[in-house]
Structure 1
Amino acid sequence: MSEIDKLAWLYIQNKQLLGARSKGKNTYYIPGGKREAGESDEQALIREIKEELSVDLIPATIEYAGTFKAQADGKPEGVMVKMTCYLAEFTGKIKEDAEIEEITWLNHHDLAKCSQVTKIIMAWLKSEGKIE
C-alpha cells in the first residue's frame, strides 16, 4: 500500500471551512499540498498556501490540528492520502492562484462534493463543533 503525504490549512470562518477546487476538477479539497525535499511541515504549508491562495501564513500562529487518512481520490484502490492539518492566521487577501479555479466555504452539508479525506476531516470538525 502506498501513501501520499500532504499538508492542509484548516481555515474556519462563521462555522464554515475554506475549500478549494483545482482547474478541471469537480471535487473540493482543503488547501495545501505536498512538501518538497528538505521542507518542514511549516515551510511546505506556508509555500503551498502562498502559491494556491496568495496569502502569507503567520509562522508563529501555525498550530497542529490533526492527521487524517483516506483512500486517495482518483488513485488505485489502496493508495491512501495522509493529510496533516494545521490552523494558522494569515496576512493578505485570499484569492485563487496557480492551479486553483475556485474557492468556497464548505459546511457539513457539502460532503458529497468533497474528497474522501476532506469528508473525514469535516466530520471531525463538525463533531468538535467547529463547523455546521
Structure 2
Amino acid sequence: MPLPDLLVSAIALVRDRRVLMVTARGRDVHYMPGGKIDPGETAAEAASREAFEEVALELDPDQLHELFEVRTLAHGEPDGRHVRMRVFRAVTDASPRASAEVGALHWVTTADADRCPPAGREVLRLLAQADLID
C-alpha cells in the first residue's frame, strides 16, 4: 500500500527576480522555507508559521496568495512517497534571517536548480514560467 503524501506549505519570497531558499544546518540542499501542515491548521497558516520559525518573517496568513501546488517525489523519504507542497507568495519589506534550524539563506534562480530536491526544482520551473524569477 502506498505511503500517504506529505502535505506541506511553503513561501515564495521573490526579490530582484530571485526567490529565497534555505539550507538546513550541515546540509547543502536548497529548499523553500516551509514545512508540514499541522492538524487543525490551514495551508496558509502553516506557511506563515514556518516562515516565522525558519526565516523570522511575520506574515499574515490572510495576506498570502497561493501560487500553485507541486506534487513530486519526496526528498529523503522511502521510495514512492510523494510530497504535495502548496506554495504561497509572500510580500514583505522585512529582512529574512536564518533561525536555529536554518544554516544559510540563498537568493536563487533556475540556474541553481541542481542544488534543489525535486519539489524545489519544480517550484523554480513554475516561478520562471510565471515570469517571477530568472
Other-structure match for 1:56: 58
2:79 to 73, 77, 96: 77
Q: Are the counterparts in 2 of residues 27 and 114 from structure 1 also a CA contact under 8 Å?
A: yes
1:111 to 110, 113, 121: 113
State the distance in 1 between where 2:44 and 2:86 align. 11
Change (3 A) 1:90 1:59: farther
Show structure 1 runs of 5+ residues with no match.
none
State the Cα distance separating 1:115 from its structure 2 match. Answer: 1.2
1:67 to 69, 80, 88: 69
State the distance in 2 between where 1:127 and 1:36 align. 30
Report the 3-state secondary structure (helix = DSSP H, G, I; strand = E; otherwise coil) of the residue aligned with 1:78: coil
List 4+ stretches of structure 1 deviating above 6 A.
Answer: none
Change (3 A) 1:130 1:91: closer
The alignment yields a C-alpha RMSD, in angstroms, of 1.3
Percent identical residues: 23
State the distance in 2 between where 1:38 and 1:77 align. 28
Which region of structure 1 is more displaced relative to structure 2, 88-97 or 108-117?
A: 88-97
Show structure 2 runs of 5+ residues with no match.
none
State the Cα distance separating 1:96 from its structure 2 match. Answer: 0.2
Q: Which amino acid aligns with 2:27?
A: K
Q: Could you list the per-position Cα deviations for residues 36-77 of structure 1 after superposition, in whole angstroms to 9, with x for gaps in the alignment?
A: 221112221111111111110133421111000111111122
Change (3 A) 1:6 1:65: same
Other-structure match for 2:31: 29
State the Cα distance separating 1:91 from its structure 2 match. Answer: 6.0
State the distance in 2 between where 1:91 and 1:43 align. 20
TM-score after normalising by structure 2: 0.91
State the Cα distance separating 1:130 from its structure 2 match. Answer: 1.1
2:102 to 84, 100, 108: 100
Other-structure match for 2:41: 39
